[in-house]
Amino acid sequence: MARIVMKFGGTSVADIARIRNVARHVKREVDAGHEVAVIVSAMAGKTNELVGWVQDASKAEGSNFNIYDAREYDAVVASGEQVTAGLLALVLQAMGVHARSWQGWQIPLKTDTSHGAARIADIDGSFLIQRFSEGQVAVIAGFQGIAPDNRISTLGRGGSDTSAVAIAAAVNADRCDIYTDVDGVYTTDPRIEPKARRLARISFEEMLEMASLGAKVLQVRSVELAMVHKVRTFVRSSFEDPDAPGMGDFDNPPGTLICDEDEIVEQQVVTGIAYAKDEAQISLRRVADRPGVAAGIFGPLAEANINVDMIVQNISEDGSYTDMTFTVPSGDVAKALAVLEKGKEKVGYDVVQHDDGMSKVSVIGIGMRSHAGVAASAFRALSEKGINIRAITTSEIKISILIDGPYTELAVRTLHSVYGLDKQ
Ligand code: ASP
Ligand code: MG
């Protein structure tokens, strides 16, 4: 017998028929004798609709300007998950499963006061453990909690993954199963490279990079949390027949296990290729080379909430001037340029240049720590395809390369094959 947290995303609970299918997955685990808690998202599209209503309602009359009270935003958008939790409990009951729904505040899942993007502060697992001991399946509304001001809070878009992992940690679950509309984590995006393979296992660190670099399977924060608390997290499909062979095999179900690297026996050098489109490159030419310049540039950008990604600074030739290049999401270029213009005098630079429509392609693998030449093979392969490299950044387990957007697909396929990910 195991203790399992099961999480179902929006497309998996999009209508009653799909909720019935979800209930069959739950019943399968309950019938196998496991203790089960279920976390649900809102029905697909529901949260977007609710956010739209909030924006509409908070517009001042005759103006396009809208600024809304984040506490009321939370009161509205948290309702989507409340609905699915209740519906799934009803469907489970109709199937003869002893189930009950719970809202975030009832657990309670305590957060900080950052309404709209709250962070989890504390979850006392004993409430749910008590439910397990009563043989109850607890169906929990994801994405929401309760803030110190005694009001409902939400965890930011995609936050029900984080609810699930946090609850799995709090009840010391054997595994957190994330059921979604894909059947696992792939070596790269199968829509770009049909030879992409599903990974049986991937380490927390690699998954964190994959998720941050564009693979949208899991909310990044949920992976951080899984890594910190060592929650074995399993990505699998909710659309498969719940009773298909192997689905109920606890030790080896179909999908991808995100786990500690110690659990990965045969570590490949490179595990996956990720990409992010719509990046823009901004370069400041002839920046004074003196202490405080980087702080003077990136401080104001951070204050304006602009997410700066790759940063490349050259060593100046004569010790007086240098160039500074960095990337931001394309949508933030105008805002970034305005911030830079404002600080021009203080920072001291010649001109600012920018280029939209870039992509960042990344090679990820913990095996890189102990293998030389991984970056060199990427550069060679890209050059053979005539792909120009704009900027490069590396960490212990990844290499990110900035290229022109139209070459994204070719670069992804080239790198995927260079590291032998097409095979096996
Ligand atoms: N329903 C929320 C959203 O759409 C939370 C989630 O699905 O994880 O962002
Ligand atoms: Mg999601």
Q: Is-contact 123 171, C-beta < 8 A?
A: no
pLDDT tens digit sequence for 228-283 = 999 999 999 999 999 999 999 999 999 999 999 999 987 789 999 999 999 999 99
Give, using CA atoms, the residue closest to atom 9 of ligand 1.
Answer: 157
Question: Ligand 1 centroid to 55 CA: how many Å?
Answer: 17
- Tell me which range, 44-48, 178-182, 344-348, 369-373, is most confidently predicted by mean pLDDT: 44-48
pLDDT at position 315 is: 83
Q: What is the pTM of this model?
A: 0.91
Q: What's the 372 CA to ligand 2 centre distance in angstroms?
A: 36
pLDDT of 61 > 90? The answer is no
Give the residue, by CA position, lying nearest to ligand 1 atom 6: 158
Q: Please say if the pLDDT value at position 37 is more than 80.
A: yes
Residue from 311, 331, 314, 334 nearest 323 by CA:
314
Is there a contact between 200 and 186 (Cβ–Cβ < 8 Å)?
A: no
| Ligand 1 lined by 354 (C-beta under 6 Å) | no
Mean pLDDT, residues 14-22 taken together: 98
Model pLDDT, residue 151: 98
In the predicted model, what is the mean pLDDT of the chain? Answer: 94
Regarding the beta carbon of 157 and ligand 1, being less than 6 Å apart is answered yes
Residue 158 Cα, ligand 2 centroid: separation in angstroms? 4
Among candidates 354, 333, 351, 342, which has minimal Cα distance to 300? Answer: 342
User: What pLDDT is stored for residue 385 in this prediction?
Assistant: 98
Domains and CATH numbers, the chain: 3-261 (3.40.1160.10), 272-418 (3.30.2130.10)
Decide whether any atom of ligand 1 lies within 6 Å of the 144 Cβ.
no
Identify the band that residue 424 occupies on the pLDDT scale cut at 50, 70 and 90: low
At residue 279's C-alpha, the angle toward residues 273 and 281, to 5°, is: 120
For the sheet containing 120-123, what is the strand order? 120-123, 109-111, 144-146, 152-154
Grade residue 213 by pLDDT with cuts at 50, 70 and 90. confident
Hunting for tokens 């179900």 — which residue is that?
253
Q: Which residues of 79-99 are buried (b: 16+ CB within 10 A; e: fewer)?
A: bbbbbbbbbbbbbbeeeebeb
Ligand 1 center to 80 CA (angstroms) = 9
Which ligand 1 atom sits closest to the C-alpha of 157?
Answer: 9
